[in-house]
Amino acid sequence: MPDSDHVQPDVAAGETAPLPEPTLPEPVRQRVVALAAAAMSGLPADEVPPALRRVANFAPKQRARLGATAIAAQLGSDPLYRQRVGSWALERAGELGAAVRDGAPPAAADPVEVAALAYLARPDGWADMVTDAARNLRVDADSAAVTERLRAAEHHVAMAEHERTVIKIEVEKLRDELTRLRAEADGLRDQVRQLTRAQRESQVRERKAADMLATEKGRAGRASADAEAEVRRLRSRLIDAELAASDARTVAKDARAVDDARLWLLLETIGQAAVGLRRELALEPAKKLPADFVAETSAQLPGSDRAGARALTADDPARLDQLLALPRAHLVVDGYNVTKRGFGDVSLEQQRSRLVSSLGGLAAQSGIEVTVVFDGADKVLAVPSPPRGVRVLFSRKGETADELIRQLVRAEPMGRPVIVISSDREVADGVRRHGAYPLSSDSLLRRIARS
């Protein structure tokens, strides 16, 4: 820490007045307070402003939580204290602090951290850095809101589709029930017609018997008695026919109840059989993934035309977060294409180690499957064990990493989200034809830097 006697004021004599204090976005304000709270531990007691000495004895986290308002007010009104905190923060930030002091922070750096350091250190263009951070945070918030609305819309569409399928099934059931009822009604109509015909025949016979009785009135009482007996017999038959019709209707109703019970029992039996079959044929979770077979054989798999809904060209860093949030996502990284763009000033071994370590942290955070592919297995003497969740592959002699990446994409089943990180246009076009999501190396570098 520089001595307070050697601290230069924010505005030299003869210069224009300083810019008014900006309104910091909430994440930036919280980071500024956290840096100031941590810096109190390294400042001499006489350099801590009197207004903050009460909270200086607290732990850094308690300072940031309990004294946030006082710290923010002191930073805004005390340029000397702000300069001391800014010098401490730039020194602790290392390369990022040096870049902010020079007014050229890296594009992949966390905008909140850059804005906080710029606000404290006040290099040339610090107000623009704070403004850019606020704009980036608003863009991220808007993107998250749009993503949430899209997810809600997709959920509503899926629910509507489910409801439509259920209604269609119910309509089919009702149509089958209507067909059965119509057939039953036709049967009942046939029975009614038969009974009506029998009744008419009985009435005809009854009229004939009456005619015979009128013409045979002079016969003996036996003939009259026989005629009356015939009439009673016919009437009895009519009553029996009516009773038979009533019994037929009762039997039909009972038969329908029996059919309903049999149908319920059949559906219950089918449901229980389906449950038992599902339990009997349950598959164990897969111990190997498709990329593991490619890693073992490195053989050229037959191509398949799987271009579909997965193929997208979005390079927005927020898009990578969306894709990593998909279930069972597989991240395939073109190793040297990423390392040479992000940290090509170190050796290849250091590039590999740094990338694999960063991908290990990403895999631990998101729980996805990660495969990183490098060129030239014959040129690597020793490869350290990769972290959990990360698979490291090297192309064989005579084979390029691009070919191995295409093999990995072709080996995946249709429907699984595969994200390929490479700024090579040929690689991106090749994997897009097989349904993968190609993203640029810069999107992954920014994502790693944010972590």
**What was the pLDDT predicted at 344?**
87
Cα dist from 393 to 335, 352, 367, 417, 431, whole Å: 9, 11, 19, 20, 17
Q: CA distances (Å), 277 to each of 98, 270, 272, 274, 282, in order?
A: 66, 10, 9, 5, 8
- Could you tell me if 22 and 111 lie in one domain? yes
Structural domain span for residue 75: 4-124
pLDDT at residue number 440: 92
Q: Are residues 326 and 344 in the same domain?
A: yes
- Is 137 inside any structural domain? no
Tell me: do 246 and 317 sit in the same domain.
no
The alpha carbon of residue 254 and the mean position of all alpha carbons in its chain are separated, in whole angstroms, by 53
For residues 30 and 105, state if they share a domain. Answer: yes
Kindly state whether residues 24 and 163 are assigned to the same domain. Answer: no
pLDDT for the residue numbered 407:
92
Q: Specify if 198 maps to a domain.
A: yes
In a domain, 144, yes or no: no
- Cα 232 to Cα 229: distance, rounded to the nearest angstrom: 5
Residue 129 included in any domain: no
pLDDT value of position 9: 42
Residue 133 lies in a domain: no
428 and 314 in a single domain? The answer is: yes
| Domain co-membership, 339 together with 429 | yes
Q: Which of 251, 280, 309 finishes a domain?
A: 280
H/E stretch holding 438: strand 437-439
For residues 437 and 327, state if they share a domain: yes
Asked if residue 440 and residue 295 are part of one domain, the reply reads: yes
Count the alpha carbons within 13 Å of 12 in the hemisphere toward its beta carbon: 2
| Residues 97, 101: Cα–Cα separation, whole Å | 6
Is 131 within a domain?
no
CB 322 within 8 A of CB 311: no
Return the residue matching tokens 């593991």.
292
pLDDT at 391: 93
Q: How many domains does the chain have?
A: 3
- pLDDT of 356 reads 93
Give a yes or no: residue 139 inside a domain.
no
pLDDT along the chain (451 residues), means of 10: 38 48 78 79 77 76 76 78 81 78 75 79 76 75 77 85 89 91 91 91 89 83 83 88 86 77 65 60 60 60 38 63 89 93 90 92 91 79 79 89 92 90 91 92 90 71
Select from 257, 280, 303 the last residue of a domain.
280
Residue 25: what pLDDT? 80
CATH number of the domain to which 396 belongs: 3.40.50
Question: How far apart (Å, rounded) are the C-alpha atoms in residues 55 and 49?
Answer: 11
Residues 294 and 422 in one domain: yes
Contact status, residue 408 vs residue 436, Cβ threshold 8 Å: no
The verdict on 302 and 439 lying in the same domain is: yes
Of 124, 157, 184, which one is at a domain's C-terminal end? 124
Query: In whole angstroms, what is the distance from residue 130 CA to residue 138 CA?
Result: 12
229 φ, ψ (degrees, to nearest 5): -65, -40
Domain presence at residue 91 = yes
Both 310 and 446 in one domain: the answer is: yes
Q: So what's the pLDDT on residue 66?
A: 74
- The pTM assigned to this predicted structure is 0.36
Burial 373-406 (b: 16+ CB within 10 A, else e): bbbeeeeeeeeeebbebbbbbbbeeebebbbbbb
Rounded Cα distance between 422 and 333, Å, is 7
